[in-house]
């Protein structure tokens, strides 16, 4: 009977044979609290932009184009009026006092009675436009204080026209400051003349064909018109004509 050789005895322990030691950990540095480098940051993602769109009221959406149209119409009208004004070239009227008289002048402590008759010479120097006068008022002044006023009928002047506007102003026991009474008496006694002023106000407008712009306030001042008194109650202004200042706004 054949026999097999007996294998050599092998000693077995509980641990495998030792191999090469692992590499040491990276040295600790003061710049990080961890012994290993930090992982790279994630890729940057741009924030999502959501623009704010305010609420648009339908009323505002309707009003904006309406305002633009209105502004355009007003601008066009203004340009047209300006061009027509340059072509027509209207000029201010010229006023002067051509004659005047006062009668029945009497005064007491604070009242005055008198009748003033005055003629204004009015000339329209414009060659291409007429002038209309509405709501005409005339007044008499002494030393800046009103004595009496009245209304006059409206009138119209064609281009280059000259006319005479007459006014009668009656003061019947009208209250006046005591200083006016004394001033009139002193002037009449010392110089034999008393200077009164006249004024005219009206709503005036130019007209040339179909063109008629808005009305303007016309104010006429005729200061220092001297009346020579032949007696204590009647005085007259005999000239020369007294030019007046004209304002047009």
Count of beta carbons in the 10 Å neighbourhood of residue 165: 19
Mean pLDDT over 14-20 rounds to 55
Which pLDDT does position 135 carry in this prediction? Answer: 97
Which pLDDT does position 20 carry in this prediction? Answer: 59
What percentage of the chain exceeds 90 in pLDDT?
54
Q: Could you identify the residue written with the tokens 């002047």?
A: 157
Mean pLDDT over 156-162 rounds to 96
Which pLDDT does position 54 carry in this prediction? Answer: 63
Which pLDDT does position 23 carry in this prediction? Answer: 65
pLDDT score of 89 more than 90: no
pLDDT score of 8 more than 70: no
Higher pLDDT, 49 or 225: 225
Which pLDDT does position 150 carry in this prediction? Answer: 97
Quick one: 20 exposed, middle or buried, by C-beta within 10 A (0-12, 13-18, 19+)? exposed
Mean pLDDT over 139-160 rounds to 96
- The token pair at 246 is 């004209």
Average pLDDT, the chain: 83
Which pLDDT does position 86 carry in this prediction? Answer: 60
Using H for helix, E for strand and C for coil, what is the string for the chain?
Answer: CCCCCCCCCCCCCCCCCCCCCCCCCCCCCCCCCCCCCCCCCCCCCCCCCCCCCCCCCHHHHHHHHHHHHHHHHHHHHHHHHHHHHHHHCCCCCEEEEEEEEEEEEEECCCEEEEEEEEEEEEECCCCCCEEEEEEEEEEEEECCEEEEEEEECCEEECCCCEEEEEEEEEEEEEECCHHHHHHHHHHHHHCCEEEEEEEEEEEEEEEECCECCCCEEEEEEEEEEEEEECCCCCEEECCCCEECEEEEC
Let me know how long the chain is: 249
How does residue 74 score in pLDDT terms, banded at 50, 70 and 90? confident
């Amino acid at each position: 009977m054949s026999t097999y050789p007996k294998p050599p005895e092998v000693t077995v322990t509980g641990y495998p044979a030792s191999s090469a030691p692992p590499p040491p950990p990276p040295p600790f540095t003061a710049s990080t609290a961890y012994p290993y480098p930090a992982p790279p940051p994630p890729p940057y993602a741009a924030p999502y932009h959501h623009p704010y769109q305010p609420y648009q009221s339908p009323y505002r959406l309707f009003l904006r184009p309406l305002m633009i149209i209105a502004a355009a119409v007003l601008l066009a009208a203004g340009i047209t009026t300006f061009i027509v004004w340059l072509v027509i070239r209207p000029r201010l009227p010229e006023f002067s006092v051509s004659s005047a008289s006062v009668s029945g002048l009497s005064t007491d402590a604070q009242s005055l009675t008198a009748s003033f008759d005055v003629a204004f010479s009015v000339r329209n120097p414009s060659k291409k436009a007429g002038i209309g006068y509405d709501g005409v008022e005339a007044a008499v002044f002494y030393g800046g204080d009103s004595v009496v006023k009245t209304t006059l009928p409206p009138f119209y002047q064609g281009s280059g026209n000259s006319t005479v506007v007459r006014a009668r102003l009656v003061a019947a026991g009208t209250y006046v400051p005591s200083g006016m009474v004394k001033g009139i008496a002193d002037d009449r006694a010392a110089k034999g003349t008393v200077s009164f002023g006249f004024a005219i106000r009206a709503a005036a407008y130019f007209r040339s064909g179909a063109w008629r712009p808005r009305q303007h306030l016309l104010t006429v001042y005729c200061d220092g018109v001297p009346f020579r008194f032949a007696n204590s109650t009647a005085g007259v202004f005999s000239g020369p004509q007294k030019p007046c200042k004209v304002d047009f706004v």
